[in-house]
A and B are shown apart, each in its own frame.
Chain A
């Protein structure tokens, strides 16, 4: 069921990106989509009869630890991208006086 769950959450996140009028909500929707992708990758590395990847006995079988290492990097990079986009949103608010996409396009043109 978990690839289906990731698919549903990616769809909801993209729907939120399309309909949201607030920049803060758009940034949150980007984060939601990223979480769904991370969940998908972890589910691909998962085995139903595997153990968590801590080796204390070489005879047991463990799940693949490579996607987990990559996804930790993805979480950290996502948090820094969030911080950068919030700084840019503060700059936009001080220039145009609003955070609404429609009013921004009005005042720009």
Chain B
């Protein structure tokens, strides 16, 4: 009985591995990885080590798919913080909104605009990954986009806004902070 279950589980493990290698979508990959860990846990138990099987069920098939799914959903965001008080970044009206929408569509990103004051952020929100900050300059009334210096995305954005007169970009190197 034990050897029959063992042989079946070994064949199932190989089939699941091939399905993981062949699958195209990210979410499908993670679900099949969870199944792979469950079958591996059964094989650990049949090798007379129930403690390792317990750890594998808890970590391999629950916690690891969780962090995979959280990171997959988090990496498609392009976070923009809005400091202007007029309708530059308003939905479907402002020129800046349309510009950033075209830009994020080109790279398959999801645009998230937050209308918050940076000084009111505290604790964990302050260390959040911000990609771009939009401000209105007090001296000449132009719009300023602040971003990190080394990214390819900012260089592409700089090429896109070359023709538009009242927008310019400030690049900040890694060691400095935004504010």
Contacts and interface: CB of A to CB of B under 8 A. Distances in A.
Interface of A: 1-2, 5, 8-9, 12-13, 15-16, 19-20, 22, 24-25, 28-29, 31-32, 35, 38-39, 42-43, 45-47, 50-53, 63, 67-68, 71-72, 75-76, 79, 82-83, 86-87, 89-90, 93-99, 107
A90 B17 contact: no
15 contacts: A5-B14, A8-B14, A15-B21, A24-B26, A28-B33, A32-B20, A35-B37, A38-B52, A71-B49, A79-B60, A79-B63, A82-B67, A86-B67, A94-B75, A97-B156
A16 B21 contact: yes
Given A24-B29, A24-B72, A31-B33, A16 B20 contact: yes
A24 B21 contact: no
A80 B152 CA distance: 29
Contact of B71 (A38, A89, A95): A89
Contact of B152 (A24, A25, A42, A97): A97
Contacts, number: 130
A1 B11 CA distance: 11
Interface residues of B, number: 45
Report which residue of B14, B21, B44, B56 has the largest number of chain A beta carbons within 10 angstroms of its beta carbon: B21
